[in-house]
Amino acid sequence: MHQLEISDLITVVDPHSGQRLPVRRAEVIRQLREAGDERAARIVAELPVDRDGVLDPHAVDRLLIGVHTELQRLSEELRIGERLVHLLGPLFAAIRETTGRPGPYRLVDVGCGLGYLVRRLAATNALGTDVELVGVDLDAALVGEAARLARAEGLDCRFVHGNAFALSEAATVYVSTGVLHHFRGPALAEFFQAQAASPAYAFCHFDIAATPLAPIGAWVFHRARMRNPLGRHDGVVSARRAHSDETLLRAAAVPGIRALLYEPRGTANPFCTPLRPIIGVRPHLEAPLRRALGRDALRMVGPEHLAGTVR
Q: How many CB atoms lie within 10 A of CB 173?
A: 24
Q: How far apart are CA 283 and CA 201, in angstroms?
A: 9
Quick one: pLDDT at residue 308?
Answer: 46
Burial class (CB in 10 A: 0-12, 13-18, 19+), 254: middle
Q: How far apart are CA 258 and CA 256, in angstroms?
A: 7
Q: 89-98, 231-240, 278-287: which range is least confident on average?
A: 231-240
Rounded to an integer, the average pLDDT of 217-233 is 76
Q: How far apart are CA 125 and CA 127, in angstroms?
A: 6
* Phi and psi based region of residue 69 (left: phi greater than 0; alpha: psi -120 to 50; beta: remaining): alpha
Quick one: pLDDT at residue 310?
Answer: 42
Amino acid at the residue 65: I
Quick one: pLDDT at residue 214?
Answer: 67
pLDDT by residue (tens digit) across 126-174?
A: 999 999 999 999 999 999 999 999 999 999 999 999 999 999 998 999 9
Quick one: pLDDT at residue 272?
Answer: 46
pLDDT of 29 over the 90 cut: yes
Q: How many CB atoms lie within 10 A of CB 64?
A: 23
Quick one: pLDDT at residue 306?
Answer: 66
Name the residue with higher pLDDT: 103 or 267.
Answer: 103
Count of residues in the chain: 311
Confidence label for 311 from pLDDT (cuts 50, 70 and 90):
very low
Amino acid at the residue 208: I
Confidence label for 72 from pLDDT (cuts 50, 70 and 90):
confident
Amino acid at the residue 239: A
Q: How far apart are CA 186 and CA 191, in angstroms?
A: 9
Average pLDDT, the chain: 89
pLDDT by residue (tens digit) across 240-285?
A: 889 999 999 999 999 999 999 998 755 554 444 478 899 999 999 9
Quick one: pLDDT at residue 137?
Answer: 95
Name the residue with higher pLDDT: 27 or 274.
Answer: 27
| Alpha helix ranges (H) inside the chain | 6-9, 25-34, 38-45, 57-77, 80-99, 116-124, 140-152, 186-196, 214-225, 229-240, 245-252, 286-293
Rounded to an integer, the average pLDDT of 29-54 is 96
Amino acid at the residue 106: R
pLDDT by residue (tens digit) across 161-181?
A: 999 999 999 899 999 999 999
Residues 6+ apart with CB under 8 A from 253: 259, 303, 310
Quick one: pLDDT at residue 219?
Answer: 63
Quick one: pLDDT at residue 18?
Answer: 77
Q: Which residues does residue 21 pair with via DSSP β-bridges, in sequence order?
A: 12
| DSSP state for residue 2 in the 8-state scheme | -
Name the residue with higher pLDDT: 270 or 49.
Answer: 49
